[in-house]
Structure 1
Amino acid sequence: MNQISQPSVSFILPILNEERDLENCVSAILQQDYLGSIEIILALGPSIDKTTQIANTIAAGDTRIKLVDNPTGQTARGLNLAIKSSSYEIICRIDGHSEIDRAYIKTAVLIMQETGAVNVGGLMYANSEFGLQRTIAQAMRSKLGVGPSKFHTGGKAGASDTVYLGVFKKSAIIAAGGFDERYIRAQDWELNHRMRKQGGLIWFDPRLIVTYRPRNSFSKLAKQYFQYGRWRRVIARQHPQTVNYRYLAPPIAVVITLVSIFTGLFINRILILPSLAYIFLLLIGGFLIGKKLVDRLIMPFVLATMHFSWGVGFLTSPKKLFKD
């Protein structure tokens, strides 16, 4: 790809409480093997750690980094503010706790030019070398943990309903109305859905790898997946034709397991078999997915946390969560 075919790119990042990963994230963007001009726009929420101080320091050292105030701290609002402040047609969305490899934007732009897609993206590669975070990362790369989603577990390049983060055509985002700020979660999926309805092509390619740093505690993991479940129920209400078995599996598992335990204890012990089968599945899955002995021991609890938090979030999601 020559310089003429490498258009300028605006990287947009909604930032909140990212003191641990922000410098590495921005550094990875600045080290891209790319000849076109770039800018990095950090939409800063009201962080309670040293994120804002770090952002100010790195912005002072490089004129390509711009800071935008995002008082709500909400992701969709931050993304829209960053897009409004952006200068270029190609928009690359990155999260503050993610890292891209040096060829990421060059490959993404090439794929966009070859396919005509309005958004291209690839793998959300959860990874860590440390303790519980390492175990959670392994679970998030497994089909038992997250289902057969290509942007989690991989697959062939091709048209897709959605992708992780993404490299967009700004004009397509604007034509679709931008990110819907009513969505606290699932705003990426919802925007991709609207762009597809307008005839836009969303393209997945496994060569595009974004390293994602997962949560590092059971409580944070449970909160994250509870929110995923709640907002997936919102999607199911707003777009019922898009519901499939992958989204229904966690809430069904919650109901079956709880009913099995209750009826097994109070009606007939044989009725506890479905819950025992689920536990057995987690144990076997933990053994197969875990890389180290400690991962294999912890993995069943990680998987159960993901499944049950997602499922309970889906089942208890109130209609008032989404304001029409």
Structure 2
Amino acid sequence: MIHEKACSQITRGTMKQIPCVTVIIPMFNEERYIAQCLESVLANDYPKDLLEILVVDGGSTDRSRDIVVEYLQRYSFIHLLDNPKRIMSSALNIGIRNARGEIIVRMDAHALPDPRYISRCIEILRAGIADIVGGRWIIEPGAPTVVAEAIALAVSHPFGAGDAVYRYGGAAGYVDTVPFGAFHKGLVFRVGLYDESLFVNEDYEFNYRVRRAGGRVFFSPDIISRYYARSTLRALARQYYRYGWWKVRMLRKYPAAVRWRQLVAPMFLLSLAAASGGAVIWPIFRIVLGMIFFAYTLASLTTSVIINLRRGSWRTIVWLPVAFAIIHFSWAAGFLSSLIALPFSRLKSQIPKSDRHGIPAC
């Protein structure tokens, strides 16, 4: 619990109030990462008597809760809350409703924030130049394997991540969205809480509403967190299928939020399907189909070679193009499947099978 006296603490010389901060960490079966995450938050240079950590659990069935309970016994400002809905947006809303801090920092159990993460976010928020502040991911492999290494490289490169600058770095400035953002708790009174009808894309949707209300989202490359990517190709495919599926549901609510990059993969998959269908009847389409495959394969292989050359290692040269293909085709398949299912979107059966009982952290 944040100390009430501490919340009125005054910075010497500046006579400015130091804000209390609540870090919200959604969790579901994160026994591999939650201890590292908590240790990283505790290692931040922000005053501990002005810090509150809320771990919101979606009914973990592994040792995640036991690990958090061990920390509860050692730190009075760490609390464990339950998330019956088991979805990310619900976990964040539960955290916000229970937060005592003036500033909310949205964290993830897969993430390890750098020691100045919180204080740097606070500095920018207090400068009054933005409503939401976030930084850069340094994406780490989710397992000590070549496949996991390739996945981490793929999701942190523009060819795989599009123009999401937080995944690969860039200049400080205003952006569409940031992960693990920090904002004043009062912001939710202006734009509302996270949308619990979305199982994924909750950050982008929240950031979009903030921007639509006249707010600004700021990216700073010196705000750094390390994030563990998926460790298997199957997990990567599931992740990006869900991203594509729920992106359609978000765009259905806010058509103006669509970006050209979000349509590239679906259009590519449609062009492949059209060329494949045409090739059955008209031989000319076989040439078109071959050209499409050739162009994509060339782009993927060239990107993979450049990445491996820069790293001075060829360990991932085989698996990196595979990871890129899984990202693109899974996202496109999810997007198009969701479009097809839109007329039946009120039916539970039209929610992806893996998401019908809630989902783990992103």
The TM-score, its normalising length taken from structure 1, stands at: 0.94
SS in 2 for 1:115: coil
Cross-structure match for 1:306: 327
SS in 1 for 2:79: strand
Cross-structure match for 2:126: 113
Cross-structure match for 2:214: 199
Query: In the alignment, is the contact (CA less than 8 A) between 2:151 and 2:233 conserved in 1?
Result: no
Amino acid at match of 2:326: T
Distance (Å, rounded) in 2 between the aligned partners of 1:111 and 1:207? 11
The Cα of 1:24 is off from its aligned counterpart by: 0.4
Amino acid at match of 1:214: A
Query: In the alignment, is the contact (CA less than 8 A) between 2:198 and 2:250 conserved in 1?
Result: no
Distance (Å, rounded) in 2 between the aligned partners of 1:29 and 1:257? 46
Distance (Å, rounded) in 2 between the aligned partners of 1:214 and 1:30? 22
Query: In the alignment, is the contact (CA less than 8 A) between 1:46 and 1:72 conserved in 2?
Result: no
Q: 1:48-127 counterparts in 2 under 5 A? A: 48-127=61-140
The Cα of 1:267 is off from its aligned counterpart by: 3.2
Identity in percent = 31
Query: 1:102-155 CA distances to partner (integer Å, 9 max, x unpaired)?
Result: 011111111111234221001132123722222111111111111122222222
Query: In the alignment, is the contact (CA less than 8 A) between 2:208 and 2:257 conserved in 1?
Result: no
The Cα of 1:38 is off from its aligned counterpart by: 0.3
SS in 2 for 1:168: strand
The Cα of 1:265 is off from its aligned counterpart by: 6.3
Cross-structure match for 2:5: none
Distance (Å, rounded) in 2 between the aligned partners of 1:5 and 1:233? 43
SS in 2 for 1:294: coil
Query: In the alignment, is the contact (CA less than 8 A) between 1:286 and 1:298 conserved in 2?
Result: no
The TM-score, its normalising length taken from structure 2, stands at: 0.84
Distance (Å, rounded) in 2 between the aligned partners of 1:2 and 1:212? 33
Amino acid at match of 2:52: E
Amino acid at match of 1:33: D
Distance (Å, rounded) in 1 between the aligned partners of 2:255 and 2:301? 34
Query: In the alignment, is the contact (CA less than 8 A) between 1:173 and 1:195 conserved in 2?
Result: no
SS in 2 for 1:165: coil
Cross-structure match for 1:25: 37
The Cα of 1:263 is off from its aligned counterpart by: 4.0
SS in 1 for 2:318: helix
Does residue 175 of the first structure (1) align with residue 193 of the second (2)? no
Q: CA RMSD in A?
A: 2.0
Distance (Å, rounded) in 2 between the aligned partners of 1:265 and 1:171? 59
Distance (Å, rounded) in 1 between the aligned partners of 2:297 and 2:212? 41
Amino acid at match of 1:16: F
Amino acid at match of 1:69: D
Distance (Å, rounded) in 1 between the aligned partners of 2:76 and 2:129? 31
Distance (Å, rounded) in 1 between the aligned partners of 2:228 and 2:25? 15
Matched residue pairs, number? 323
Distance (Å, rounded) in 1 between the aligned partners of 2:67 and 2:281? 57
Cross-structure match for 1:187: 202
Query: In the alignment, is the contact (CA less than 8 A) between 2:121 and 2:134 conserved in 1?
Result: yes
SS in 2 for 1:206: strand
Larger radius of gyration: 2
SS in 2 for 1:164: coil
Amino acid at match of 1:11: V
SS in 2 for 1:156: coil
Cross-structure match for 1:270: 287
Amino acid at match of 1:281: A
The Cα of 1:322 is off from its aligned counterpart by: 7.0
Distance (Å, rounded) in 2 between the aligned partners of 1:90 and 1:120? 11
Does residue 130 of the first structure (1) align with residue 144 of the second (2)? yes
Of 28-37 and 163-172, more deviation after overlay is shown by 28-37
Q: 1:124-273 counterparts in 2 under 5 A? A: 124-128=137-141, 130-131=144-145, 132-264=147-279, 267-268=282-283, 269-271=286-288, 272-273=290-291
Change (3 A) 1:265 1:284: farther
The Cα of 1:157 is off from its aligned counterpart by: 1.5
Change (3 A) 1:282 1:136: same
Can you give the 5+ residue segments of structure 2 that lack an aligned partner in the other structure?
Answer: 1-9, 348-362
Distance (Å, rounded) in 1 between the aligned partners of 2:190 and 2:240? 31
Amino acid at match of 1:130: P
Query: In the alignment, is the contact (CA less than 8 A) between 1:183 and 1:322 conserved in 2?
Result: no
Query: In the alignment, is the contact (CA less than 8 A) between 1:15 and 1:44 conserved in 2?
Result: yes
The Cα of 1:293 is off from its aligned counterpart by: 1.8
Amino acid at match of 2:43: Q
Distance (Å, rounded) in 2 between the aligned partners of 1:205 and 1:5? 23
The Cα of 1:282 is off from its aligned counterpart by: 1.5
Query: 1:29-57 CA distances to partner (integer Å, 9 max, x unpaired)?
Result: 00111236101000111112211111112
Cross-structure match for 1:12: 24
Query: In the alignment, is the contact (CA less than 8 A) between 1:93 and 1:165 conserved in 2?
Result: yes
The Cα of 1:198 is off from its aligned counterpart by: 2.3
Distance (Å, rounded) in 2 between the aligned partners of 1:148 and 1:160? 10
The Cα of 1:266 is off from its aligned counterpart by: 5.7
Runs of 4+ in 1 over 6 A off after TM superposition: none
